[in-house]
Amino acid sequence: MKSKKQKMIDFLLKNANPSIKLRVKKEVLNSLTKEEAEMYQEQIMKEPIIQKIIVCQRENGWIGDGLHGYLDSQEGGTKYLAEKGIDKNTPVLKRAMEAFATIPLDDKSYTKIGRIIDVFKYPAIGNELIRGACIARARYDDIIDIKPLIRLSLDSFKRVLEVDSILDVSRPIQGGKKLVFKENEKWPCRYHLDILAHTDSWKNENNIKIIADSVAKMMKTDQPELVNLIPQVWIGHPIGTLGAFPAQGLSVMCTGIFPFPITHPQGKSLDYNVEYIEWFARCGIVPHIPALQKVVNEIMDYVDDDGICHLPVKYVDLYKGWGPYGGLQLETDWKSKTRKACDITFRALLILHYADNNP
Protein backbone atom coordinates (compact mmCIF):
# COMPACT_ATOMS: atom_id res chain seq x y z
CA MET A 1 0.00 0.00 0.00
CA LYS A 2 1.32 3.45 -0.94
CA SER A 3 2.24 5.82 1.86
CA LYS A 4 0.46 9.15 2.22
CA LYS A 5 3.66 10.90 1.17
CA GLN A 6 3.92 8.82 -2.01
CA LYS A 7 0.29 9.55 -2.88
CA MET A 8 0.98 13.27 -2.53
CA ILE A 9 4.00 12.94 -4.80
CA ASP A 10 1.99 11.01 -7.39
CA PHE A 11 -0.80 13.61 -7.36
CA LEU A 12 1.64 16.47 -7.87
CA LEU A 13 3.68 14.79 -10.59
CA LYS A 14 0.45 14.14 -12.48
CA ASN A 15 -1.28 17.50 -11.99
CA ALA A 16 1.08 20.27 -10.89
CA ASN A 17 2.82 22.93 -12.93
CA PRO A 18 6.49 22.62 -14.02
CA SER A 19 7.94 24.41 -10.97
CA ILE A 20 6.28 22.06 -8.52
CA LYS A 21 7.15 18.97 -10.54
CA LEU A 22 10.77 20.11 -10.76
CA ARG A 23 11.03 20.78 -7.02
CA VAL A 24 9.34 17.51 -6.07
CA LYS A 25 11.81 15.58 -8.18
CA LYS A 26 14.80 17.64 -7.02
CA GLU A 27 14.08 18.25 -3.31
CA VAL A 28 11.88 15.35 -2.28
CA LEU A 29 12.85 12.50 -4.59
CA ASN A 30 16.41 13.60 -5.42
CA SER A 31 15.88 12.14 -8.87
CA LEU A 32 15.78 15.12 -11.26
CA THR A 33 17.54 14.28 -14.52
CA LYS A 34 19.39 16.81 -16.68
CA GLU A 35 16.79 16.37 -19.43
CA GLU A 36 13.90 16.96 -17.03
CA ALA A 37 15.58 20.02 -15.56
CA GLU A 38 16.04 21.55 -19.02
CA MET A 39 12.44 20.75 -20.02
CA TYR A 40 10.92 22.24 -16.88
CA GLN A 41 13.25 25.26 -17.03
CA GLU A 42 12.10 26.08 -20.56
CA GLN A 43 8.46 25.85 -19.53
CA ILE A 44 8.88 27.93 -16.37
CA MET A 45 10.71 30.74 -18.17
CA LYS A 46 7.73 31.27 -20.48
CA GLU A 47 5.35 32.07 -17.62
CA PRO A 48 4.02 35.67 -17.63
CA ILE A 49 5.18 36.60 -14.10
CA ILE A 50 8.73 35.47 -14.86
CA GLN A 51 8.70 37.59 -18.00
CA LYS A 52 7.41 40.61 -16.04
CA ILE A 53 10.26 40.25 -13.56
CA ILE A 54 12.76 40.13 -16.44
CA VAL A 55 11.29 43.34 -17.83
CA CYS A 56 11.73 44.99 -14.40
CA GLN A 57 15.44 44.15 -14.28
CA ARG A 58 17.76 47.10 -14.69
CA GLU A 59 21.05 47.21 -16.57
CA ASN A 60 23.02 46.61 -13.36
CA GLY A 61 21.02 43.45 -12.59
CA TRP A 62 18.83 45.00 -9.87
CA ILE A 63 15.14 44.12 -10.14
CA GLY A 64 12.83 47.12 -9.90
CA ASP A 65 13.45 50.35 -8.03
CA GLY A 66 13.81 49.18 -4.44
CA LEU A 67 14.78 46.33 -2.15
CA HIS A 68 11.97 45.54 0.30
CA GLY A 69 8.82 44.93 -1.69
CA TYR A 70 6.71 42.90 -4.06
CA LEU A 71 7.47 41.11 -7.33
CA ASP A 72 8.75 44.30 -8.94
CA SER A 73 11.48 44.69 -6.32
CA GLN A 74 14.86 43.05 -5.80
CA GLU A 75 13.58 41.14 -2.77
CA GLY A 76 10.24 40.05 -4.19
CA GLY A 77 11.66 39.23 -7.62
CA THR A 78 14.60 37.14 -6.44
CA LYS A 79 12.55 35.21 -3.89
CA TYR A 80 9.90 34.40 -6.49
CA LEU A 81 12.50 33.24 -9.01
CA ALA A 82 14.09 31.02 -6.38
CA GLU A 83 10.76 29.57 -5.25
CA LYS A 84 9.87 28.80 -8.87
CA GLY A 85 12.91 26.54 -8.93
CA ILE A 86 14.71 28.03 -11.92
CA ASP A 87 18.36 27.11 -12.40
CA LYS A 88 20.63 29.37 -10.35
CA ASN A 89 22.64 30.24 -13.47
CA THR A 90 19.58 31.53 -15.32
CA PRO A 91 20.55 35.06 -16.46
CA VAL A 92 17.77 36.93 -14.64
CA LEU A 93 18.60 35.32 -11.27
CA LYS A 94 22.37 35.29 -11.78
CA ARG A 95 22.41 38.99 -12.68
CA ALA A 96 20.25 39.83 -9.66
CA MET A 97 22.65 37.96 -7.38
CA GLU A 98 25.62 39.72 -9.01
CA ALA A 99 23.85 42.98 -8.15
CA PHE A 100 23.72 41.89 -4.51
CA ALA A 101 27.44 41.08 -4.69
CA THR A 102 28.53 44.35 -6.27
CA ILE A 103 26.13 47.14 -5.25
CA PRO A 104 27.06 48.59 -1.82
CA LEU A 105 24.51 48.72 0.97
CA ASP A 106 24.46 52.53 0.99
CA ASP A 107 23.46 52.68 -2.68
CA LYS A 108 20.07 54.24 -3.41
CA SER A 109 18.95 50.88 -4.80
CA TYR A 110 18.68 49.68 -1.19
CA THR A 111 17.22 52.82 0.31
CA LYS A 112 16.39 56.29 -0.94
CA ILE A 113 18.10 57.87 2.07
CA GLY A 114 21.31 55.87 1.62
CA ARG A 115 21.52 54.98 5.31
CA ILE A 116 22.91 51.66 6.51
CA ILE A 117 21.39 50.19 9.67
CA ASP A 118 24.05 47.93 11.15
CA VAL A 119 22.44 44.51 11.59
CA PHE A 120 25.12 43.55 14.11
CA LYS A 121 24.34 46.59 16.28
CA TYR A 122 20.56 46.76 16.03
CA PRO A 123 18.48 43.60 16.53
CA ALA A 124 15.94 42.33 14.00
CA ILE A 125 16.33 45.09 11.41
CA GLY A 126 18.46 46.18 8.47
CA ASN A 127 18.68 45.78 4.71
CA GLU A 128 21.66 43.45 5.03
CA LEU A 129 19.34 40.89 6.63
CA ILE A 130 16.94 41.14 3.69
CA ARG A 131 19.85 40.79 1.28
CA GLY A 132 21.10 37.72 3.16
CA ALA A 133 17.70 36.06 3.11
CA CYS A 134 17.39 36.59 -0.66
CA ILE A 135 20.84 35.10 -1.24
CA ALA A 136 20.01 32.14 1.00
CA ARG A 137 16.67 31.48 -0.72
CA ALA A 138 18.39 31.50 -4.12
CA ARG A 139 21.00 29.02 -2.79
CA TYR A 140 23.79 31.46 -3.63
CA ASP A 141 25.41 31.20 -0.19
CA ASP A 142 28.11 29.04 -1.80
CA ILE A 143 29.00 31.95 -4.11
CA ILE A 144 28.24 35.05 -2.01
CA ASP A 145 29.60 34.89 1.53
CA ILE A 146 26.83 35.31 4.10
CA LYS A 147 28.51 33.31 6.86
CA PRO A 148 28.51 36.31 9.25
CA LEU A 149 24.73 36.62 8.78
CA ILE A 150 24.22 32.89 9.34
CA ARG A 151 26.23 33.21 12.56
CA LEU A 152 24.23 36.29 13.57
CA SER A 153 20.97 34.44 12.92
CA LEU A 154 22.03 31.49 15.05
CA ASP A 155 23.31 33.79 17.81
CA SER A 156 20.05 35.76 17.77
CA PHE A 157 18.08 32.61 18.59
CA LYS A 158 20.71 31.60 21.13
CA ARG A 159 20.33 34.95 22.90
CA VAL A 160 16.75 34.04 23.83
CA LEU A 161 18.16 31.22 25.96
CA GLU A 162 20.84 33.38 27.57
CA VAL A 163 18.44 35.90 29.14
CA ASP A 164 15.41 35.62 31.38
CA SER A 165 13.23 37.46 28.88
CA ILE A 166 13.13 40.09 26.17
CA LEU A 167 13.11 42.72 28.94
CA ASP A 168 16.82 42.02 29.46
CA VAL A 169 17.69 43.10 25.91
CA SER A 170 15.40 46.12 25.73
CA ARG A 171 14.74 49.40 27.53
CA PRO A 172 11.70 51.63 28.07
CA ILE A 173 11.35 55.07 26.43
CA GLN A 174 8.76 57.85 26.48
CA GLY A 175 8.14 57.40 30.17
CA GLY A 176 7.68 53.67 29.83
CA LYS A 177 5.07 53.93 27.07
CA LYS A 178 7.28 52.14 24.52
CA LEU A 179 9.96 49.49 24.61
CA VAL A 180 12.99 49.50 22.30
CA PHE A 181 15.88 47.08 21.87
CA LYS A 182 19.20 48.03 23.40
CA GLU A 183 22.08 48.59 21.01
CA ASN A 184 24.55 45.74 20.46
CA GLU A 185 21.94 43.21 21.54
CA LYS A 186 20.43 40.31 19.61
CA TRP A 187 16.92 38.95 19.13
CA PRO A 188 15.55 36.67 16.37
CA CYS A 189 13.21 37.79 13.61
CA ARG A 190 11.56 36.50 10.47
CA TYR A 191 14.65 37.14 8.34
CA HIS A 192 17.00 35.31 10.69
CA LEU A 193 14.71 32.30 10.41
CA ASP A 194 14.55 32.67 6.61
CA ILE A 195 18.35 32.62 6.40
CA LEU A 196 18.67 29.53 8.59
CA ALA A 197 15.83 27.71 6.84
CA HIS A 198 17.53 28.04 3.46
CA THR A 199 21.13 27.27 4.42
CA ASP A 200 22.73 24.06 5.67
CA SER A 201 26.26 24.96 6.77
CA TRP A 202 25.15 25.72 10.35
CA LYS A 203 23.27 22.49 10.89
CA ASN A 204 24.50 20.11 13.52
CA GLU A 205 22.78 18.47 16.45
CA ASN A 206 23.79 21.16 18.94
CA ASN A 207 22.75 24.13 16.80
CA ILE A 208 19.41 22.58 15.87
CA LYS A 209 18.75 22.03 19.57
CA ILE A 210 19.53 25.70 20.24
CA ILE A 211 16.95 26.82 17.68
CA ALA A 212 14.42 24.32 19.02
CA ASP A 213 14.86 25.38 22.65
CA SER A 214 14.69 29.05 21.68
CA VAL A 215 11.47 28.59 19.69
CA ALA A 216 9.95 26.48 22.48
CA LYS A 217 10.72 29.25 24.99
CA MET A 218 9.10 31.90 22.77
CA MET A 219 6.03 29.69 22.27
CA LYS A 220 5.30 29.71 26.00
CA THR A 221 2.36 31.73 27.34
CA ASP A 222 2.86 31.39 31.08
CA GLN A 223 3.71 35.07 31.64
CA PRO A 224 0.81 37.19 30.31
CA GLU A 225 2.86 40.40 30.48
CA LEU A 226 5.31 38.92 27.94
CA VAL A 227 2.80 37.47 25.46
CA ASN A 228 3.00 39.33 22.13
CA LEU A 229 5.60 41.72 23.57
CA ILE A 230 7.82 42.97 20.72
CA PRO A 231 10.10 45.98 21.22
CA GLN A 232 10.84 48.47 18.46
CA VAL A 233 14.33 49.55 17.38
CA TRP A 234 15.80 52.91 18.43
CA ILE A 235 17.79 54.64 15.65
CA GLY A 236 17.28 58.17 16.96
CA HIS A 237 13.57 57.41 16.88
CA PRO A 238 11.57 54.18 17.32
CA ILE A 239 11.05 52.07 14.21
CA GLY A 240 9.39 48.70 13.64
CA THR A 241 11.45 45.55 13.21
CA LEU A 242 11.59 43.06 10.34
CA GLY A 243 9.17 40.68 12.01
CA ALA A 244 10.86 40.28 15.38
CA PHE A 245 9.50 37.33 17.34
CA PRO A 246 7.62 38.03 20.57
CA ALA A 247 8.94 37.41 24.07
CA GLN A 248 6.18 34.80 24.43
CA GLY A 249 3.20 33.72 22.37
CA LEU A 250 5.07 32.71 19.22
CA SER A 251 2.50 30.90 17.09
CA VAL A 252 2.24 29.14 13.74
CA MET A 253 -1.38 30.22 13.40
CA CYS A 254 -2.22 33.57 11.83
CA THR A 255 -4.94 35.94 10.67
CA GLY A 256 -3.43 36.77 7.29
CA ILE A 257 -0.17 38.32 6.11
CA PHE A 258 1.55 39.94 9.04
CA PRO A 259 5.26 40.05 9.85
CA PHE A 260 4.85 39.04 13.49
CA PRO A 261 3.92 35.39 14.21
CA ILE A 262 2.04 35.93 17.43
CA THR A 263 -0.78 34.52 19.52
CA HIS A 264 -4.12 35.99 18.45
CA PRO A 265 -7.24 36.82 20.47
CA GLN A 266 -9.84 34.14 20.91
CA GLY A 267 -12.70 34.29 18.44
CA LYS A 268 -10.44 35.21 15.51
CA SER A 269 -10.54 32.96 12.45
CA LEU A 270 -7.07 31.45 12.08
CA ASP A 271 -5.06 29.86 9.30
CA TYR A 272 -1.97 27.70 9.57
CA ASN A 273 1.04 29.90 8.84
CA VAL A 274 2.37 27.40 6.33
CA GLU A 275 5.45 29.45 5.51
CA TYR A 276 6.73 29.48 9.10
CA ILE A 277 5.87 25.81 9.58
CA GLU A 278 7.88 24.95 6.47
CA TRP A 279 10.82 27.05 7.66
CA PHE A 280 10.79 25.45 11.11
CA ALA A 281 10.71 22.04 9.42
CA ARG A 282 13.66 23.01 7.21
CA CYS A 283 15.59 23.94 10.34
CA GLY A 284 15.07 20.43 11.68
CA ILE A 285 13.35 21.43 14.92
CA VAL A 286 9.93 19.78 14.49
CA PRO A 287 10.90 16.50 16.26
CA HIS A 288 12.12 18.54 19.26
CA ILE A 289 8.92 20.57 19.78
CA PRO A 290 5.70 18.60 20.46
CA ALA A 291 3.52 21.59 19.52
CA LEU A 292 5.13 21.75 16.06
CA GLN A 293 4.91 17.99 15.58
CA LYS A 294 1.21 18.22 16.47
CA VAL A 295 0.70 20.89 13.79
CA VAL A 296 2.50 18.79 11.18
CA ASN A 297 0.29 15.81 12.09
CA GLU A 298 -2.81 18.01 11.81
CA ILE A 299 -1.79 19.16 8.34
CA MET A 300 -1.28 15.54 7.28
CA ASP A 301 -4.76 14.72 8.55
CA TYR A 302 -6.10 16.97 5.79
CA VAL A 303 -4.55 14.72 3.11
CA ASP A 304 -7.13 12.39 1.54
CA ASP A 305 -6.69 8.93 0.01
CA ASP A 306 -5.82 10.49 -3.35
CA GLY A 307 -2.89 12.40 -1.87
CA ILE A 308 -4.64 15.78 -2.01
CA CYS A 309 -4.24 18.12 0.96
CA HIS A 310 -7.48 19.96 1.81
CA LEU A 311 -5.95 22.33 4.35
CA PRO A 312 -8.39 25.25 4.67
CA VAL A 313 -7.14 28.61 3.40
CA LYS A 314 -9.19 31.51 4.71
CA TYR A 315 -6.56 34.17 4.02
CA VAL A 316 -5.68 33.68 0.36
CA ASP A 317 -3.04 36.42 0.47
CA LEU A 318 -0.81 34.07 2.45
CA TYR A 319 -0.31 32.25 -0.84
CA LYS A 320 -0.99 34.93 -3.46
CA GLY A 321 0.49 37.93 -1.68
CA TRP A 322 4.03 37.74 -3.03
CA GLY A 323 5.76 40.36 -0.94
CA PRO A 324 8.06 40.77 2.06
CA TYR A 325 5.79 38.81 4.41
CA GLY A 326 4.00 36.28 2.23
CA GLY A 327 3.87 34.39 -1.04
CA LEU A 328 3.60 30.64 -1.60
CA GLN A 329 1.59 30.21 -4.82
CA LEU A 330 3.57 28.58 -7.62
CA GLU A 331 0.63 27.69 -9.85
CA THR A 332 -0.29 30.40 -12.35
CA ASP A 333 -3.72 30.91 -10.75
CA TRP A 334 -6.34 29.25 -8.56
CA LYS A 335 -9.16 29.37 -11.08
CA SER A 336 -9.38 25.59 -10.92
CA LYS A 337 -9.65 23.49 -7.78
CA THR A 338 -6.81 21.30 -9.02
CA ARG A 339 -4.32 24.17 -9.30
CA LYS A 340 -5.23 25.38 -5.81
CA ALA A 341 -4.91 21.82 -4.49
CA CYS A 342 -1.47 21.49 -6.08
CA ASP A 343 -0.11 24.57 -4.30
CA ILE A 344 -1.50 23.54 -0.93
CA THR A 345 -0.46 19.90 -1.32
CA PHE A 346 3.05 20.90 -2.39
CA ARG A 347 3.61 22.97 0.74
CA ALA A 348 2.22 20.17 2.90
CA LEU A 349 4.59 17.75 1.18
CA LEU A 350 7.59 20.00 1.84
CA ILE A 351 6.61 20.28 5.50
CA LEU A 352 6.30 16.51 5.83
CA HIS A 353 9.54 15.90 3.94
CA TYR A 354 11.68 18.33 5.92
CA ALA A 355 10.06 17.47 9.26
CA ASP A 356 11.13 13.84 8.71
CA ASN A 357 14.46 14.31 6.95
CA ASN A 358 16.63 16.74 8.89
CA PRO A 359 19.59 15.82 11.13
Minimal CA–CA distance to 216: which of 296, 292, 162? 292
C-alpha–C-alpha distance, residues 134 and 73, integer Å: 12
pLDDT score for 259: 74
SS3 303: strand
Minimal CA–CA distance to 274: which of 288, 260, 253? 253
How far, rounded to the nearest angstrom, does the alpha carbon of residue 85 sit from its chain's CA centroid? 15
DSSP string, 266-299: TT---EE-HHHHHHHHHTT-GGG-HHHHHHHHHH
Mean pLDDT (the chain, rounded): 95
pLDDT score for 261: 72
C-alpha–C-alpha distance, residues 24 and 318, integer Å: 21
Q: What's the pTM?
A: 0.97
Beta strands in 193-257 (DSSP E): 232-234, 238-239, 253-254
C-alpha–C-alpha distance, residues 345 and 327, integer Å: 15
pLDDT score for 34: 97
Q: For 8, how many CA atoms within 13 A lie in the half-sphere containing its CB?
A: 29
Which amino acid, 13? L
Q: CB of 84 within 8 A of CB of 19?
A: yes
Q: CB of 231 within 8 A of CB of 253?
A: no
C-alpha–C-alpha distance, residues 220 and 234, integer Å: 27
pLDDT score for 299: 98
C-alpha–C-alpha distance, residues 109 and 64, integer Å: 9
Minimal CA–CA distance to 346: which of 291, 307, 305, 297? 307
pLDDT score for 358: 64
Which amino acid, 120? F
Share above pLDDT 70 across residues of the chain, in percent, rounded to a whole number: 99
SS3 57: strand
Neighbours of 24 (CB within 10 A): 23
Q: CB of 14 within 8 A of CB of 25?
A: no
**Helix residue spans in 117-204 (DSSP H):** 127-137, 147-162, 190-197
Long-range contact set of residues 40-43: C-beta below 8 Å, sequence gap at least 24: 40/85, 41/86, 41/87, 41/90, 43/18
Q: CB of 203 within 8 A of CB of 284?
A: yes
pLDDT score for 359: 58
- Residues in the chain, pLDDT under 50: none
C-alpha–C-alpha distance, residues 278 and 348, integer Å: 8
